[in-house]
Amino acid sequence: MATRLRSSDTAWGGTIAILLAEQLVREGRPPDAVLLAEPNLRAEDANLSARAAATPLEEFLAHWPQWVEATELPYYHEGVRQADPLAFHRSATSLGRHGQTALAHFVALPVARKGYVLGGKSDAATQETARQVAAAGIPVVTVSGSGHAFCGEDADGLALALAQLLER
């Protein structure tokens, strides 16, 4: 049975999808498709995580309440508020480490279908990542009614974008 991997609106899901796809390829069971929705493929994509990872752990933990309150993105604030600060810091550090080479890994994946979903309201860094993904020959579909919070802002648009990528 073929495996189909998708990352939609979960933090770090794109990194996990790429790592899992690479593992499946090594095992001789490549997935049919890897579709990513605004994953952190470049260091510039991981603004919040990069700031967290750059903060020494003790300082980060000591200032966790201020960190949570300073989270500007409404869709992200509640998830950060509920997170364990140590787990958040460790995840951010791991994401930063993997984010240095994630774009190259995604491009190099020997998978029949790859695709990238971009939010039409996303920031310049994410737009640049999408441009680089497209330049590498990977289809990019834009969900115009959404930024990074696809499920909360335009779940139907995300579903249509994923369906469009799967039809290719």
Helix axes 85-99, 13-26, angle to 10 degrees: 60
| Per-residue pLDDT, 111 | 95
Confidence of residue 150 (pLDDT cuts 50, 70, 90): confident
Residue type for position 168: R
Convert the pLDDT of each residue in 55-102 to its tens digit: 999 999 999 998 888 877 676 777 788 889 998 888 888 777 777 789
The C-alpha angle with vertex 46 and arms to 24 and 52, in degrees rounded to 5, equals: 110
Where is pLDDT greater, at 120 or 3? Answer: 120
> What sections of 12-84 are H helices per DSSP?
13-26, 47-54, 57-62, 64-70, 74-82
Q: What homologous superfamily does CATH list for 4-43+102-167? A: Alpha/Beta hydrolase fold, catalytic domain (3.40.50.1820)
| Per-residue pLDDT, 8 | 32
Q: For residues 130 and 71, what is the distance between their CA atoms, to the nearest angstrom? A: 24
Pairing type for strands 113-119 and 33-37 reads: parallel
Confidence of residue 33 (pLDDT cuts 50, 70, 90): very high
Boundaries of every domain in the chain? 4-43+102-167, 47-96
Convert the pLDDT of each residue in 4-31 to its tens digit: 333 333 346 888 899 999 999 999 999 9
| Per-residue pLDDT, 10 | 34
